[in-house]
Structure 1
Amino acid sequence: MKVMFTVICTVYNAEMYIKECIESVINQSYGNFELIIVDDGSTDNSLRLCREFERKDERIRIYRQENNGVSSARNLGIESSNGDYIIFLDSDDFLDLNYLESIYRNIEKDKKLYVTELTKVLDDGSRITNDKKLFIKDFETEELIFSLLFGESKFEEKYYLGKNMRAIGGKVFQRNVIVDNCIRFDEALYIGEDAVFILEYICSISKENIGVINCEGYFYRIVDNSSVRRYKPDLLEQLILQRKIMYPILSRYNIPIAAYTIADLFDLISNDIKGVKMGEIQFRNLLDSALIWLKNYGNTGGIENENFVSNDTLDTKIRIILFFWGRVSHRSICVLAYLILMLRGIIRRIRFKNRVEF
């Protein structure tokens, strides 16, 4: 029988959560699936725990690689998959036991991407759910890309796909689209690789191919020591690389990529302001690096020459703030934090030139 779903679970030192994760898949009420587990060089007991499940359930296949990163692990899972649809599952996340059945019952012939609800789970076990139901009435591809890049929707009268469009979790992808369009996770990226993958996928289908399924099914665990919340010394280089990868796609649409570059940078930095554990020296070093980068790329000879953006796509207020920021002689964390948060507010009011009014 043809496999309907492939669940790809990437694992790295997840012995605390992997048992719950695997059990949430193998105990699904709908059974026509395969579970591909890719261990990315774990040094704890994760692989041993996975092997115990593999011996008992023939639907499980395990692959092991050196520590090449989550993108490489997911790509190996894609290449090994047989299902009509692919679902990516992180090893510290888990599924509702009726998740696959809910998706199966709602599959439509013309749909190639399904967005489902994403529920956050905190360390104390409490859950944060969306109060609003997902829906689609009508939208333009550019509008959906904006929601993906900026993490919010300004078109909620047309559609609502939740607040986590960048997240790979809670999405159901048609395998043929991935294979036929050679869509893979960029293995040079470890920041924003999900967003790049989803962007490439969305731009490979039509807006009519996107559907929603309102089921509380994918549970995303917020872990303090996760890779998302750890300080990354090459943050700026990663953001620049991400933008270079995205540019050929975004150039087909009227997307303010410079604003996204800055917004992403400051979203990450402001997360640290809000309480992510980062030492003061690391914090100051990151902000100093941000200053240097913005001075180099935020003037008439920087971003434009690298085909990131032209001046007329940058909001005037952003240029003013960057101008004064570059001339602050005695930078304090408070001053920089204020500018960062101000910039975030301005960026979220940027318009699609000649197309979208907020």
Structure 2
Amino acid sequence: MNMPLVSVIVPIYNVEDYLQTCCNSILSQSFNNIEVILVNDGSTDGSCEIAKQIEKKDSRVILIDQRNGGLSAARNAGLKVAKGDYVLFVDSDDWIEKNCIQELYQDIQRNNSDVSCCLAQYISAMGTIRRGRSSFGVNYITGDEILPNALLVKTFPTSACGKLYRRDFLHENGLLFKEGIVNEDTLFSIQIACLAKKISFVDKVLFDIREREGSISRSSFEKLFQDMNIALLSARSFMEEHNCYNEPLDKLYKARYLKSNLYNLLQIAQRLQYPQYCKMYNFCMSSTCYLEYGDFAVFLPRKHRIMYSISKSPFLLFVTMKVLNFFNYRMH
């Protein structure tokens, strides 16, 4: 196989029902100068066997089979062997539109950017389609405007997916995903924003994200709060080390801290019964800086400021989210 222009990294863990759809969407791209790196992260179902069959049928596919180390470890394993000039991450239960790579590649070339981002849509188990955002509103952002934008998630999305990265940019800056935490994208996106010179945007829906609730235990929810704290503290240390941190950014950082933990609170309010929810709510209040940073909610968008005010009352937040959940309204 000739040297690929784009490396597509697909971490795999127990997705036997979705993997074929994901890989078909990648291998049938209009842009075919790609390599597809499948990283089986210790799956216990039939995912690895499906991946082996896919590798046999297409010379562009490379399979890495490793012990379970988590999403970050799987992505990092893919990055270490990637040969393309550009890198795209696709989660194995999602899929991409036929022209996804073509559109992102043309955009990153045209703008000479470090990262190119596209719009995404979310598909529920019932087949309901929900757009994440209707438009980016800008063609690109540069220099000192990138980090404030990323901290408040104005234009630059948090997810590592839906973005084409210049591999040299990642490699030269030693950018990898922090292993052992579940909020790896929060840290990674802030690190990207701290170092990127230009980020461009494609105002088209090119990524399809499957919404799967699954079952999450109490310990998993505790880890959600703990790991978000680790991710955000690590992000702050990274910004300080790279001389990106100053007083105005400190305010935005603390606003982002509120927003990220508010999102976790909304998840538990939607998905837990009241007694379990109260335990997790109290865990958040006692183990994070959520209340301490309350004054910085003024930097958040209006809907998040309202939800932050509501979140000061555990009962009111719980009832509000159950009502919003009934009407299938999602807060992001």
TM-score range normalised by the length of the shorter chain = 0.7 to 0.9
Task: Summarize the Cα distance change of 1:32–1:263 in structure 2 as closer, same or farther, 3 Å threshold.
Answer: same
Q: Deviations over 1:224-251 (max 9, x none)?
A: 2187999422233212211221112444
- Classify 1:139/1:97 alpha carbon distance in 2 versus 1 (closer, same or farther; 3 Å): closer
- 1:310-344 Cα deviation digits (max 9, x unpaired): x99687xx9xx99xx6xxxxx8x41564899xxxx
Give the match for residue 54 of structure 1: 55
CA distance 1:234–1:339, change in 2 (3 Å): same
Residue equivalent to 1:289: 283
* Aligned-residue offset at 1:215: 2.9
Q: Point out the more displaced range, 134-143 or 88-97.
A: 134-143
Deviations 1:4-32 (A, max 9, x none): 11000001000111110010011112210
2: distance between equivalents of 1:147 and 1:244?
A: 18
Residues 100 and 262 of structure 1, relative CA distance in 2, 3 Å threshold: closer
- Do the aligned partners of residues 258 and 215 (structure 1) sit closer, same or farther apart at CA in structure 2, a change above 3 Å counting? closer
Question: Equivalent residue of 1:224, what SS?
Answer: coil
Aligned-residue offset at 1:217: 1.4
Describe the SS at the equivalent of 1:203. Answer: helix
Q: In the alignment, is the contact (CA less than 8 A) between 2:187 and 2:232 conserved in 1?
A: no
From 211, 225, 247, give the equivalent of 2:200. Answer: 211
Counterpart residue number, 2:16 = 15
Q: Give, in whole Å, the separation in 2 of the partners of 1:52 and 1:194.
A: 30
1:35 maps to amino acid: V
Offset of residue 60 of structure 1:
0.4
CA distance in 2, matches of 1:19, 1:54: 11
Cα deviation digits, residues 143-194 of structure 1 (max 9, x gap): 543443334x3xxxxxx55xxx011121110000111110000003212x11
Structure 1 residues 228, 150: closer, same or farther in 2, change over 3 A?
farther
Amino acid at match of 1:282: Q
Q: CA deviation at 1:123?
A: 1.4
Aligned match of 2:187: 196
The Cα shift of 1:264 comes to 1.6
Work out whether residues 121 and 209 of structure 2, in 8 Å CA contact, stay in contact via their aligned partners in 1.
Answer: yes
Unaligned runs of 5+ in 1: 154-159, 300-308, 326-330, 341-358
Matched pairs, number? 305
For the pair 1:132 / 2:134, whether they are aligned, the reply is: yes
> Would you say the 8 A contact 2:111–2:200 is kept in 1?
no
Higher helix share: 2
Q: Residue 140 of structure 2 contacts residue 199 of structure 2 at CA under 8 Å; is this kept in 1?
A: no
Q: Who is 1:349 aligned against?
A: none
Amino acid aligned to 1:284: C
Distance change >3 Å, CA 131–CA 336, structure 1 → 2 = closer
Name stretches of at least 5 consecutive residues in structure 2 with no aligned partner. Answer: 299-304, 322-332
In 2, Cα distance between the equivalents of 1:111 and 1:229?
42
| Greater than 4 Å deviation, 4+ residue runs | 137-143, 226-231, 296-299, 311-315, 335-340
The CA distance in 2 between the partners of 1:131 and 1:270, in whole Å, is 19
How far off its partner does 1:135 sit? 4.0
1:83 aligns with 84
Secondary structure of 1:234 counterpart: helix
Structure whose CA Rg is larger: 1
> Alpha-carbon deviation of 1:280?
3.5
